[in-house]
Amino acid sequence: MRILINALSGIGDALMFTPSLRLLYEKMPNYHIDMMVMFKPVQDLFQSSPYVKNVYFVDFLNQSKLKSYSQLKEIRSKDYFISINVYPSNRYEYNLVNYFIHANKRLGHKYLYSGFFSLEYLNNISVNEEKDIHNVIQNVNLIKKLFEINENEINGLEINLSEDNENCAVLWLKKQGIDMQKPIIGFHAGSSTLKNHINKRWDKEKYAELGKRLMQDFGASILLFGTENELNDEINNSLNNKGVIASTLNYMDSMSRLKQCDLFVSNDTAFLHSASAFKIPVVAVFGYTNYKELYPWQTPYAIIRKDYDCSPCFFNSPKPASCKWKGKDEFKCIKDISVDEVFDSCKNFLLNSKNPRL
């Protein structure tokens, strides 16, 4: 018997399915679990998973519809008994794909902010999206349709690195001249640009100022993560080139380097959840997205946000992010967060950690 997991959204969403993936593997041991993905980092993540047999990469965004159709036909021919849309999969295309696979049981969510044309009715087993619960639990609620789950069975996020990955990361740090006896702090100042999410980014100059203060007060090394090369270069220039660009196009290389961090500062992005998978303390800078649904899972964290009446205002729907305020007040929820606020949370972790390097 076969299960297909449709992890067609980004790496952060895929990571927040990993506790459910483990439960599927443990509670349905006679099933063969495969994944379908459309982003290379998600493919890298699941190819290293002990719970997954095959990972199908379908480049829906960049290849012809004919090629995608041909790949879907090949996947459909594997005769899956269960197919599952990872939360959130709130576009009609995801539901069409799930339906096309033609599994006997097709699992997906009914979203709070969707309608008839989202085609959610094509899934024959569904649960209602709930407001203000973590995305991990949204996924768990879905697979509860297949078996019972106790709360204490829900684990952390998982990224499976090899020993070689980790050894290479340590060697790389030493080659960069990183002092392994002092704090190593990771930053992710970027974000996806899909759905107008460039507006989730805390100001690059504030990241630079934060880095200067952490280097001066704690002797910290700053690692800059993400594929936003120009952004990271600008921050590093402001740091007088004393930071280190850490990410590569190889996701697992980036993750092995991230795992060496003692603290991570990030916007609401996949790197926030990647740090959570390694139990790294996270200082998370939130704007208009819902921290109650996206906070760092099962790791020490601090949420830095402005509690304005209008936020959070972004919900799981195909609509891009927008702000009711205009001019200098547009997206003020992220703009108004000060360096002092973020620095104080970092300082709290650095002064109170039992990590001998801090």
- Which stretch of DSSP H or E encloses residue 129? none
Mean pLDDT of the chain: 96
Pairing of strands 221-224, 263-267: unpaired
Tokens found for residue 16:
């927040």
Tokens found for residue 153:
């069975």
Query: For the segment 89-145, what is each residue's pLDDT rounded down to a tens digit?
Result: 989 999 999 999 999 999 999 999 888 889 999 999 999 999 999 999 999 999 999
pLDDT of residue 358: 58
pLDDT band, very low/low/confident/very high, at 315 (cuts 50, 70, 90): confident
Q: Which of 7, 11, 9 has its CA nearest to residue 254?
A: 11
The pTM of the full predicted model, rounded to 2 decimals, is 0.95
Query: For the segment 235-258, what is each residue's pLDDT rounded down to a tens digit?
Result: 999 999 999 999 998 999 999 999
pLDDT (average), residues 290-302: 97
pLDDT band, very low/low/confident/very high, at 354 (cuts 50, 70, 90): low
Q: Which of 36, 1, 5, 15 has its CA nearest to residue 108?
A: 5
For residue 279, the SS3 value is coil
Domains, the chain, ordered by start: 2-153 (3.40.50.2000), 163-352 (3.40.50.2000)
pLDDT (average), residues 159-185: 95
Residue 352 has pLDDT above 90, yes or no: no
pLDDT band, very low/low/confident/very high, at 356 (cuts 50, 70, 90): low
Q: What is the DSSP letter of 151?
A: G
**Residue 213 φ/ψ, nearest 5 degrees:** -70, -40
